Amino acid sequence: MHVFKATIDSEIMKETIEAISALVTECRLHTDDNGISARAVDTANVAMISLTLGKQAFKSYEASPGEIGIDIAKIKNVFGMAGSKDSLSLLLPDTVQKLQISFGSYHYSVTLLDTNTIRKDPNPPSIQLPGKVVIAGADLYEAIKAASIVSDKISFRIDPEAQIFEMRADGDTDQIDKVFSKEDVKDIIFVKARSMFSLDYLKDMGKVMGKADLVEIYLGTDHPVRFSFPIAGGAGHVEYLLAPRIEAE
Amino acid sequence: MHVFKATIDSEIMKETIEAISALVTECRLHTDDNGISARAVDTANVAMISLTLGKQAFKSYEASPGEIGIDIAKIKNVFGMAGSKDSLSLLLPDTVQKLQISFGSYHYSVTLLDTNTIRKDPNPPSIQLPGKVVIAGADLYEAIKAASIVSDKISFRIDPEAQIFEMRADGDTDQIDKVFSKEDVKDIIFVKARSMFSLDYLKDMGKVMGKADLVEIYLGTDHPVRFSFPIAGGAGHVEYLLAPRIEAE
Amino acid sequence: MHVFKATIDSEIMKETIEAISALVTECRLHTDDNGISARAVDTANVAMISLTLGKQAFKSYEASPGEIGIDIAKIKNVFGMAGSKDSLSLLLPDTVQKLQISFGSYHYSVTLLDTNTIRKDPNPPSIQLPGKVVIAGADLYEAIKAASIVSDKISFRIDPEAQIFEMRADGDTDQIDKVFSKEDVKDIIFVKARSMFSLDYLKDMGKVMGKADLVEIYLGTDHPVRFSFPIAGGAGHVEYLLAPRIEAE
């Protein structure tokens, strides 16, 4: 029997669901004694999320190993009704395929998805991404928004010679670039790297990453990018992996 | 000749018109020496409003018995132009079918509807609703919004045995309920009662009731619900009556 | 070779572009040693703008006489990315038809329009408008918004006998008027004048003028209206000229 019974600040649960909803509309939440986790890939196989939310993020937590099939849009609506200071109680009852969510004097009972109908969890690919930059999440999101004015793609580049990290978008007629020197970033590993990405995906991810103090960006050349950042004040963690777009010369 | 000449805080007049506009797009305002009043039923005959705004709600007031045909949407636009601290002057001139509205240095002249073309005022039905709950308007509106996430109808129930008042919505797959014990309400009469209502109507009414400190709810079983609450800081009063939805078992 | 190299507060540049975008979607910016200027007429030949922004509005300024073809919508998007405290650097490079815009660590490069494809600058008509009122920009904009509730046109009238300035809109059924006495305005020249204007144009202009402390309004009878007001804290200046609508009696 799958046991899941937990209490958590509503804001932490909202932040967790936001991170997932940037990529997928349904997912499989795994529970075990250490906390909850999810790994999912978007329908176009372009972006992947790996998320963990440790037991310590919860006010109370009790769970056996198992899976919960979540309709992300529906659960967002329910959590959206909770005030920012509400505590959410989550309970998987014995008998039915439902998740009971309570806060204040409210009790929701949400039918779960059959986990067999949800796409299989992806395996994390093993790729070497030697370049690394650590910047403020707000700076990253701002650059993504700025780039979308002129184009639908953006390139990330580490230039060891110029000693810079550059985000750059080239539109049909216009271009924009944002350059970070060593002083503008928290940390940087100067390995030559350059890849281009679709802004479609980055805009949704960027909204989530914009709330993180610092985001680690791992880069290669014509390789995926990996973004890594904490959620829930450090009690949880998200990794986004995004495939590159091939540049037509 | 119909005399109507009054001055009133713009916020009170806006609140009054809001309460009416939750149900109808035009109505007949009655005036007499005691104040103004309106009674109207929506086009589907499902909901009724009875509203009074006493003379004491006005800064100055002079009126003979008579009727004024109001286009609610248009008058909302005009009142919407007034600042929250403006005083509105309302005047029915002798010669034309218009209402003159002034505030600041503005003068509006709004053509009135022919009261013969407006649906006849309904008679208030005499119904016994033995159950009663008095709760905060904000709590009522919140429960209505929460219910609309999972369904298009909501049931109100007083359970004398469990000593609770419950609002509950059952959707196709999900459900939500909000339970009030005796401590959560201002007052309650524990008579067994349970009726179900359309959220379509309740959402608009709820927005108005959400601003009232306290709303009296009168309930029966498979009977209409009556909401009763003050407006204009007690100088006015609104009653909404809403027919039940029959439950298909 | 056309030299243009300047630094300016982002808010001043946004204000300048807003004023132009009320009338046209593209325009020719003229530069010379004194500052920048533009004159444009809308596609329907109903409204004209003359704008100057003096050298003193800039933090640094260097320009030779020349023209820059601007896509207003595009440049608004770029300026919109700049924070309210950012300083914008504008630079016309030697070699390409682009304007380089930098702020913070961002660098935009925007392709310019070929000035030959932009409509020729209009000549300012010489017209006598003997009536004059000076009122708060906020009052003017509010009256324009109020008038649009009842009609699509508004008349401006100076009445020397009644000693008033009146803005009035007559709809099919309703009307509104706003009357200014000598005490309500900053200045007024009591010459009999009355003209009617399309609110379509005035709404966009009004949004810009609403931010000006004072707007000078020059009026005749069945003649255009001229609005004159400062921008950039007095370092710049805008004139709008709007043709009258002929009244059908």
Question: SS3 string of chain A?
Answer: CCCEEEEEEHHHHHHHHHHHHCCCCEEEEEEECCEEEEEEECCCCCEEEEEEEEHHHCCEEEECCEEEEEEHHHHHHHHHHCCCCCEEEEECCCCCCEEEEEECCEEEEEECECHHHCCCCCCCCCCCCCEEEEEEHHHHHHHHHHHHCCCCEEEEEEECCCCEEEEEEECCCCEEEEEEEHHHCCEEECCCEEEEEEHHHHHHHHHHHCCCCEEEEEECECCCEEEEEEEHHHCEEEEEEECCCCCCC
The first and second tokens of residue A54, run together, are 């440790």
Phi-psi region of A30 (alpha: psi -120 to 50; beta: other; left: phi over 0): beta
Closest alpha carbon to C61 in C144, C3, C13: C3
Q: Residues of C with CB below 8 A from A173's CB?
A: 110-111
Q: How far apart are CA B179 and CA B146, in angstroms?
A: 13
Tokens read off for C30:
């003229």
Coil, strand, or helix at residue C17?
Answer: helix
Q: Which residues pair with B153 in a beta bridge?
A: B198
Contacts of C105 in chain A (CB under 8 A): 178-180, 184
Structure tokens at C209: 């003028």
Query: Would the CB atoms of C108 and A176 count as touching at under 8 Å?
Result: yes
Check residue C248 and give its pLDDT: 61
pLDDT reading at B249 higher than 70? no
CB contact (8 A) between residue A178 and residue C105 = yes
pTM of the model: 0.85
A173-193 residue pLDDT tens: 899 999 999 999 999 999 999
Residues of C in contact with B108 (CB under 8 A): 150, 174-176
Helices B10-21 and B199-209 pack at an angle, to 10 degrees, of: 170
Q: Which single residue is written with the structure tokens 């403006």?
A: B86
- Residues of C whose CB is below 8 A from B70: none
Contact A111 B174 (CB under 8 A): yes
Q: What mean pLDDT is predicted for residues C208-217?
A: 97
- CA-nearest residue to A173 within chain C is C111
Give A37 to chain C, closest Cα distance, Å.
36
- Mean pLDDT score across all residues of chain A: 95
Q: What angle do CA A155, A165, A41 make, to 5 degrees?
A: 45
Cα B80 to Cα B11: distance, rounded to the nearest angstrom: 10
Q: Which residues have CB under 8 Å from C147's CB, separation 6+? A: C154, C167, C168, C169, C176, C199
Query: Of A106, A109, A110, which is closest to B178 when you measure between CB atoms?
Result: A106
Q: What is the mean pLDDT of residues B64-91?
A: 93
Could you report the per-residue pLDDT of A89-100, keeping only the tens digit for each?
A: 999 998 888 999
Higher pLDDT, B247 or B54: B54
* Consecutive H or E run containing C227: strand C225-231
Nearest residue of A to residue B172 by CA position?
Answer: A111
From C102's Cα to the closest Cα of chain A, the distance in A is 9
In this complex, is the C-beta atom of B149 within 8 Å of any C-beta atom belonging to chain A? yes
CB spacing of A105 vs B179 below 8 angstroms? yes
Sort strands C47-54 and C236-242 into parallel, antiparallel or unpaired: antiparallel
Instruction: Answer whether A40's CB lies under 8 Å from A119's CB.
Output: yes
Query: For the residues B87-114, what does the mean pLDDT come to?
Result: 92
Task: Note whether C81 contacts A178, CB cutoff 8 Å.
Answer: no
- Per CB-CB distance under 8 Å, the chain C contacts of B107 are 176-179
Q: Which residues of chain B make contact with A110, given a CB cutoff of 8 A?
A: 173-174
Q: Does B67 have pLDDT greater than 90? A: yes
Instruction: Say if residues A245 and A165 touch (Cβ distance below 8 Å).
Output: no
Q: How far is A107 from chain B (nearest CA, A)?
A: 5
| Interface residue of B78, B101, B102, B106 to substitute, partner C, most C CBs within 10 Å | B106
Residues A34-66 pLDDT 10s: 999 999 999 999 999 999 999 999 999 999 999
Subunits next to C (3 or more Cβ pairs <8 Å) are A, B
Given an 8 Å threshold on Cβ–Cβ distance, is B174 in contact with A77?
no
Contact B153, B198 (CB under 8 A): yes
All domains in chain C, ordered by first residue: 4-117 (3.70.10.10), 131-242 (3.70.10.10)
User: pLDDT digit string (tens) for B181-230?
Assistant: 999 999 999 999 999 999 999 999 999 999 999 999 999 999 999 999 99
Condensed to tens digits (0 to 9), the pLDDT of residues C151-205 reads 999 999 999 999 999 999 999 889 999 999 999 999 999 999 999 999 999 999 9
Q: C106 touching A, CB under 8 A?
A: yes
For residue range C104-158, what is the model confidence (pLDDT) as tens digits? 889 999 999 999 999 999 998 889 999 999 999 999 999 999 999 899 999 999 9
- Structure confidence at residue B248 (pLDDT): 61
Q: Which of B149, B173, B179 sits opposite A81 (nearest CB)?
A: B149
Smallest Cβ distance to A179: which of C74, C81, C105? C105
Please give the C-alpha separations between residue C235 and each of A118, A160, A242, in angstroms, as whole numbers: 63, 45, 49
Quick check: C64 pLDDT over 60? yes
Residue B95 pLDDT: 80
Residue C112 sits at the chain A interface (C-beta within 8 Å): no
Q: Is C138 on the interface with B (CB under 8 A)?
A: no
- The answer to whether residue A83 neighbours chain B at the CB level (below 8 Å) is no
Q: What is the number of other CB atoms lying within 10 angstroms of the CB of residue C70?
A: 24
Predicted local distance difference test score (pLDDT) of residue C246:
79
According to DSSP, residue C85 is labeled T
pLDDT, position A221: 96
Question: Chain B partners of C145 at a C-beta cutoff of 8 Å?
Answer: 81
pLDDT, tens digit, for every residue of A146-167? 999 999 999 999 999 999 999 9
Contacts of A169 in chain C (CB under 8 A): none
Average pLDDT rounded to a whole number, residues C209-224: 97
